[in-house]
Structure 1
Amino acid sequence: MGKSVAFLGLGAMGHPMACNLSKAGYEVKVWNRTASRAEEFAAACGGEAVGLEEAAGAAVIFSCMPTSSEVEELVSRTFEHLSRGAVWVDCTSGDPQTSRRIASRLAEAGVEFLDAPVSGGTDGAAAGTLTFMVGGSEAAFEQVKPVLEAMGKKIVHVGPVGSGHALKAVNNTLLAVNLWAAGEGLAALVKQGVDPRVALEVINASSGRSNATENLIPQRVVTRAWPNTFKLGLLAKDVGIGMKVLDGADLPAPLLRLTHEVYQMARREVGPDADHAEALKLIERWAGVEIA
């Protein structure tokens, strides 16, 4: 695989991911809907800010957008400028069904598509330690794996096109379950007179621990710091995609479906632009206490 790659979408995740590609020696052509962000990237990380047509000519094209519909729009806008034999790698937390449609469209141009969402947050993106869950052909996966290794620590081929996005949606739905369940439990303990820090110390040495109790709640909720690294609206969107995965599997899944309902409620009540951990503010409002 050559050293020239394109990266479309320089948001909270895309910017540090593309920067790590540049640091690894790849000739990175970047595009962003707000052109000034691409120019800022080029000044800070190297590479070149380009138009969509030029970006479309790269051998490997990365996209990292808020939703799959925006990726589908980019495919339509760049279709006539794509190079046969190229690989399009979508790191969006996207929708499996849309990904399969995109893959079919790109195949008409002789371009392989991989859905390759990531886990690890903005810290992992900056450190180059992300986990990639990749759907698509094994041949295309092996072709781009060395490029992915510039941005991630664990690179896993998980199945055909759409399976990466399906796994990401289920993973984030489980994140939502763990975060909400821990919030309910801690709010109840606070009302019983238990310091949440003490409760977390015990829980994190016991069987109830999770990433939510070990990291999210101590760093964001108890401290009231609320660093906004992953918006509540995006988590609610991912849980919604998780519901489509359940529908496709014809599973009742009552717990996960209830989780979808409560996060839609939190999105409305707390606001889509709040950090995802701020969903617990709704639990606090109901309980009349702060987990602090």
Structure 2
Amino acid sequence: MGPKAGRGGRHVMGKSIGLIGLGNIGAHFGTRLLAAGYELMVYDRDPAAMERLVDKGGRRAESARALASQVEIVMLCLPIPTVVASVANEVADGGAVRIVLDLSTTGPSVTKEVAAMLDRRGITFVGAPVSGGTVAAEKGTLSIMPAGPEATVAEVEPYLRVLGKNIFYLGTDPSLGQTMKIINNTLYATSLVASCEALVYGVKAGLDSKTMLDVLNVSSGRSFATLERIPQCALDRSFPVRFTTELLHKDVKMCLDEAEKIGVPMIVNPVARQFLAFAISQGDGDKDNVYPIRHIEHWAGVQFGRKPDA
């Protein structure tokens, strides 16, 4: 069921919705939901982030609990699992909420804990992590991986269709979407680090940076790192922050920890985690995850790409 026309041409749903977490990704979620005509209540600890969505038509909540006391469906877009768990506990105290839709990368273990806690309070939980970065979030072309009770996922699907293009239902266990997400991010991290090493080698051997990407991206060595992230960030040396090194490291570590819990060996992926950990130790935690290519360049004595005016 989609939105229906309300007063002043605005669309309203039979169900009220709220969004907690208005950072780099969450701000785009709020903007898209408002642009689609949904009535939306918003909350973020950062008043400026909240004000940007209020200016676009969102209703301000004074706290997570206050929001959950006024809306039936609460969406979470938060940075780390501990924050998701903490906010979910606040939300559970709200008197109106009946569905929590987690769009964060929370990981399987914490997702199971949160789902069980909410279930005891009579609230249904859907884990629906997203992939594609800030550009895809702005355009509404994200991949979304919902998991939870089938009827509940069907109920929230109209909202997911506003936020993303590729929706993959992964089963009734809310943790399965999270498992898929951390697998995805770990594969991205490992391919990114490997690509950075190989491209810096190519530069030192005498190859042109852009030509290498052109060849790779029509050949078997291509990946999201070579198709999107390295061209967007490193080729022109701009390094805009799309997804931080710290957050990527968090996801890889989570994947390795979860794999170890169920007895799956990981041999190659830990090297990517170690490199990201090194980069964080050098002050790159809040920088985009492509930025650490600079360490490889420093060790090699060359630079990949160049500024447009260089």
Q: Shorter-chain TM-score: which interval?
A: over 0.9
Quote how far apart the aligned CAs of 1:65 are: 0.7
2:280 maps to 1:279: no
**Which digits, 9 at most, give the CA deviation of each residue in 1:183-225, with x for residues without a partner?**
1111111111111222222112211111211222222112101
Identity value in percent: 33
2:231 corresponds in structure 1 to: 218
The answer to whether the Cα contact below 8 Å between 2:297 and 2:303 also exists between their aligned partners in 1 is yes
Q: What residue is the counterpart of 1:4 in the other structure?
A: 16
CA RMSD of aligned residues (A): 1.5
Residue 249 of structure 2 is aligned to residue 236 of structure 1: yes
Q: Please give the TM-score of this superposition, normalised by the length of structure 1.
A: 0.95
Which residue of the other structure, out of 54, 58, 62, is the alignment partner of 1:47?
A: 58
Gaps of 5+ in 2: 1-12, 306-310
SS at match of 1:150: helix
Q: What does 1:1-292 align with in structure 2 at a 5 Å threshold? A: 2-43=14-55, 45-51=56-62, 52-57=64-69, 58-83=71-96, 86-159=98-171, 160-292=173-305
CA distance in 1: counterparts of 2:237 and 2:15, whole angstroms: 44
Aligned mates of 1:291, 1:204 — CA distance in 2 = 17
SS of equivalent residue, structure 2 residue 146: strand
C-alpha separation between the residues in 2 aligned to 1:81 and 1:191? 59
| 3-state SS, counterpart of residue 62 of structure 1 | strand
What amino acid is aligned across from residue 136 of structure 1 in structure 2?
G
Give 2:174's aligned amino acid: V
The amino acid that maps onto 2:298 is R
Q: Which runs of 5+ in 1 are unaligned?
A: none
Contact 2:284–2:291 (8 Å) recurs in 1: no
Whole-Å Cα distance in 2 between the matches of residues 115 and 21 of structure 1?
A: 19
Please report how far the alpha carbon of residue 169 of structure 1 lies from its aligned counterpart in structure 2 after TM superposition: 0.8
Q: Normalized against structure 2, the TM-score is what?
A: 0.89
User: How many residues are aligned here?
Assistant: 290
Instruction: Find the aligned partners of 2:48 and 2:32 in 1 and give their Cα distance.
Output: 20
SS at match of 1:7: strand
Cα distance in 2, alignment partners of residues 207 and 75 from structure 1? 43
Counterpart-to-counterpart distance in 2, 1:80 and 1:291: 52
Give the Å deviation of 1:249: 3.1
Are the aligned partners of 1:270 and 1:279 in contact in 2 as well (CA < 8 Å)?
no
Greater shift after overlay, 129-138 or 171-180? 129-138
2: CA distance, partners of 1:54 / 1:279: 41
Q: How far, CA to CA, are the matches of 1:81 and 1:270 in structure 2?
A: 39
